[in-house]
Amino acid sequence: MGPESGQDKPSSAQELSDLVRKLCEEQDGSKCESIADQLLDFSQSLLQRTGETPAEPAEQTQLWNCAVSLWNIAVAKSTGGNIHQQLNAKLRHLACNLAFTASPTRTNFASTKRLIEMATKTGRTWLDCNNPSMADQSLELALEGLSKIKTLVENLGDTMVGEGSAFRQQTRDLTKEEFKIYCCKSEALTRQDQWEEASLWIEKAKPLLTKIPTEGPYLAMLCYNIACEAMQKEKYENAVSWLRESLEIGKGRHQVEAKLQARSLRLLATAYIQWDPVQYFQQALNSVGLANTLR
């Protein structure tokens, strides 16, 4: 039974490869969708099997090549406008899952970092499709990769430090990617009305600003946008909390423009009034007054 099983594995990966090649050659959007569904069904069974019995090195290489090809196809067809955003997300998701399945033999810094970037971008694409639950799946893979690469950096720390500026740039890039993951996680959770959980990821992102201070305005804007979403859902208490977070991040060294801070303050005043005009009237008035002092 062992030899038969060993012969079956490469043929399964080969069948997946053939479908990827077919997708690459197809130009019709609806046919691309059909092939993508076939790929998804086939890959799920393949991933389940490799989860039970780890893929052999030869098959891992085939799976990795399929993942890279699928990713490149998604980027090319999306850029060319040949596929819609949902299909773009589906192809990226499939490529990402395959890449992580094929990753055990690829444990160096560069390949692990690429896996993290793929997973984060896939999560972002799902968010752009307003599918936060699928985004969460991809972001969990990104966090898995992040954990692996941190262990890798710790284990190779002494040798990598010798690379000087190259090592510093790598770790800076990794910090940026970590920051993106935390921000995307927060956004995905708020879209699922998990406001408190989302704030925990913002708390994880904030300390990273000491290493990447230029990302401060982005984080402040993210909190502002989340507050706007809370306002639309009439979650005024949550809106107040997120606006105050945005304003706090925007203070001092993170250099958020005064007009943006003023905008946040005016929305904060509105949130206070909508929440409880009697209890929070003075806070609303204070927010408007402070906004008027900013130019």
What 217-220 contacts at long range (C-beta under 8 Å, 24+ apart), as own/partner pairs, is 217/250, 217/254, 217/255, 217/256, 217/257, 217/260, 218/183, 219/183, 219/249, 219/254, 220/246, 220/247, 220/249, 220/250, 220/254, 220/256, 220/260, 220/264
Cα distance between residue 137 and residue 47, in whole Å: 15
**Which tens digits make up the pLDDT trace of 62-71?**
888 888 999 9
Please indicate whether residue 98 or residue 194 has the higher confidence score (pLDDT): 194
pLDDT at residue 111, rounded to an integer: 86
For residues 111-140, give the mean pLDDT: 94
Q: Is the pLDDT of residue 104 over 70?
A: no
Whether the CB-CB separation of 189 and 197 falls below 8 Å is answered with yes
pLDDT at residue 49, rounded to an integer: 66
Single pTM value for the model: 0.87
Cα distance between residue 161 and residue 232, in whole Å: 49
Dihedral sign (CA 206, 211, 215, 216) = positive
For residues 36-50, give the mean pLDDT: 74
Tell me which of 151-160, 198-207, 258-267 is least confident: 151-160
Task: List the Cα angle 25/93/209 in 5-degree steps.
Answer: 130
**Which tens digits make up the pLDDT trace of 258-291?**
999 999 999 999 999 999 999 999 999 999 999 9
pLDDT at residue 27, rounded to an integer: 77
Write the single-letter amino acid at 152.
L
Tell me which of 5-14, 219-228, 269-278 is least confident: 5-14
**Which tens digits make up the pLDDT trace of 225-246?**
999 999 999 999 999 999 999 9
Average predicted confidence (pLDDT) for the chain: 86
> E strand or H helix at 66, and its extent?
helix 57-79
Residue in the structure block whose two tokens are 């002092």:
293
Q: How far is CA 74 from CA 22, 185, 208, 227, 254, in A?
A: 13, 23, 31, 32, 36
